[in-house]
C-alpha cells in the first residue's frame, strides 16, 4: 500500500522518494523512473542491434548519436508503455497487494491526467524517432500496435510474455534500421532471440505475482509452466543464445563476440540454477540481473567491432 508520502509498495527507498518534488513524484512513479531496470531491458536490444550493425559495416562502433537517441527513446517509451499499462489495468491493480499503491489505483493521479501525460510522453518519443531515417521511423511507428495490445493479453492467454517480448524486443529492429536503412536477416534473428530472452526474464518476474494473478483471473507463463518453469527457462534461454549467435555470425561477428555470448549464456544458466521461484526476493534479484547479462553482450559486440577494425 502507499504510505503518507504516496510511495509505492514495491518500489521504496529510491531517488524519487528522496529527491523528486512532491507534485512530480506520482508521475515519475507512473513512468517507473523509480525502477530503471525496465528501461534498461527495453534499451539493451536497441544497443545490441546498433552495435551488430556496426560489426556488419566494419565500423569502429555504432553512431554515438544513435546510441544517445536510443537511450532517450527507451526511457520515454518505457514510461509511456507503463502509463498505458496502468490505465488499462487500474481496476485490476486496485485488487492486487503489490500494485494497489500505484498512482492511478491509489488516487494520486486521475485517469484523465494519466492520459494527458501519456500523450505528452508519446510526443517526446516521436521527437526522438524523427531524428532517424525514414525507414527507421516507419519501423518505430509499427511498434505501437504491439504496445497497445500487450496489457490485454494476460486476460486472454497464458502467453502474455510473448507479446511483451514482441514489444520489448522491437529495438533489435530499430538499431539496425537506424544504421542501415533496411532490415536484414541478422536483425530478424536478433529480434527473435531477444523475444526468447524476454520470455525468460519476464517468466521469472511473473513468479512474484502467481498467487495474486490466479486470484484475480490473470494468466502468465509462470502459472502455465508452474513446477516445470526451470526447464522452460532453460529452453528459452538456449533459444535466445542460439538465435543471437546466428545473428552475430551472419553479421560477421568474430571471436570476441563469441566469447561474450558464452558469458551471456553462462549468466542466464546461473540465474536458472540459483533462483528460488517460491521466493519473490530471489525472483526480483534474478530478473534485475538480466541488465548485467545484456550489458555483457553489448560490450562484446562493441569490442568485436573494434577488433575487426584493428586486426
Q: What pLDDT shows up at residue 96?
A: 77
pLDDT for res 3: 42
pLDDT of residue 227: 95
Q: Could you give the angle at the alpha carbon of 230 between the alpha carbons of 227 and 231, nearest 5°?
A: 100
**What pLDDT is stored for residue 270 in this prediction?**
98
Query: Residue ranges of the domains in the chain?
Result: 15-310
pLDDT at 13: 58
| Domain 15-310 fold | Tetracycline Repressor; domain 2 (1.10.357)
Please report the pLDDT score of residue 4 as a whole number.
Answer: 38
**Residue partners of 19: CB distance under 8 A and separation at least 6:** none
Rounded Cα gap, residues 200 and 294, in angstroms: 13
At 1 the pLDDT is 36
User: pLDDT (tens digit, 0 to 9) for every residue of the chain, 311 residues total?
Assistant: 344 345 554 455 577 877 778 888 899 999 998 899 999 999 999 999 999 999 999 999 999 999 999 999 999 999 999 999 999 989 888 887 778 888 999 899 999 999 999 999 999 999 999 999 999 999 999 999 999 999 999 999 999 999 999 999 999 999 999 999 999 999 999 999 999 999 999 999 999 988 888 888 899 999 999 999 999 999 999 999 999 999 999 999 999 999 999 999 999 999 999 999 999 999 999 999 999 999 999 999 999 999 988 88
The neighbour count for residue 168, using CB atoms within 10 Å, is: 29
The pTM of the full predicted model, rounded to 2 decimals, is: 0.93
Query: In the structure grid, which three cell numbers stand for residue 18, read together?
Result: 528522496
Residues 6+ apart with CB under 8 A from 251: 52, 53, 55, 56, 186
pLDDT at 271: 98
- For residues 125 and 130, give the distance between their C-alpha atoms in angstroms, rounded to a whole number: 9
Say how many C-beta atoms besides its own lie within 10 A of residue 303's C-beta. 17
**What is the model's pLDDT at position 86?**
93
Amino acid at each position: 500500500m502507499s504510505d503518507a508520502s504516496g510511495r509505492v509498495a514495491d518500489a521504496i527507498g529510491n531517488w524519487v522518494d528522496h529527491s523528486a518534488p512532491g507534485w512530480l513524484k506520482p508521475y515519475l512513479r507512473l513512468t517507473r523512473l523509480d525502477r530503471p531496470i525496465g528501461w534498461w531491458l527495453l534499451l539493451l536490444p536497441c544497443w545490441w542491434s546498433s552495435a551488430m550493425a556496426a560489426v556488419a559495416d566494419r565500423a569502429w562502433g555504432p553512431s554515438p548519436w544513435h546510441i544517445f537517441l536510443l537511450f532517450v527513446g527507451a526511457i520515454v517509451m518505457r514510461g509511456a508503455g507503463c502509463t498505458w499499462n496502468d490505465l488499462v489495468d487500474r481496476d485490476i491493480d486496485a485488487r492486487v497487494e503489490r500494485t494497489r499503491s500505484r498512482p492511478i489505483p491509489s488516487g494520486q493521479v486521475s485517469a484523465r491526467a494519466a492520459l494527458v501525460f501519456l500523450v505528452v510522453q508519446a510526443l517526446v518519443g516521436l521527437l526522438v524517432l524523427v531524428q532517424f531515417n525514414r525507414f527507421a521511423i516507419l519501423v518505430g511507428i509499427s511498434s505501437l500496435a504491439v504496445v497497445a495490445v500487450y496489457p490485454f493479453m494476460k486476460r486472454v492467454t497464458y502467453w502474455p510474455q510473448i507479446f511483451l517480448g514482441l514489444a520489448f524486443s522491437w529495438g533489435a529492429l530499430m538499431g539496425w534500421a537506424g544504421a542501415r536503412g533496411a532490415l536484414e536477416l541478422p536483425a530478424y534473428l536478433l529480434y527473435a532471440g531477444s523475444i526468447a530472452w524476454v520470455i525468460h526474464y519476464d517468466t521469472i518476474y511473473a513468479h512474484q505475482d502467481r498467487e495474486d494473478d490466479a486470484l484475480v483471473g490473470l494468466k502468465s507463463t509462470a502459472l502455465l509452466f508452474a513446477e516445470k518453469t526451470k526447464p522452460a527457462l532453460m529452453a528459452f534461454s538456449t533459444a535466445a543464445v542460439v538465435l543471437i549467435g546466428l545473428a552475430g555470425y551472419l553479421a560477421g561477428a568474430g571471436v570476441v563476440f563469441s566469447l561474450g555470448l558464452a558469458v551471456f549464456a553462462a549468466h542466464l544458466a546461473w540465474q536458472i540454477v540459483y533462483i528460488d521461484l517460491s521466493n519473490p526476493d530471489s525472483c526480483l534479484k534474478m530478473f534485475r540481473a538480466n541488465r548485467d547479462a545484456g550489458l555483457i553482450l553489448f560490450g562484446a559486440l562493441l569490442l568485436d567491432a573494434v577488433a575487426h577494425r584493428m586486426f
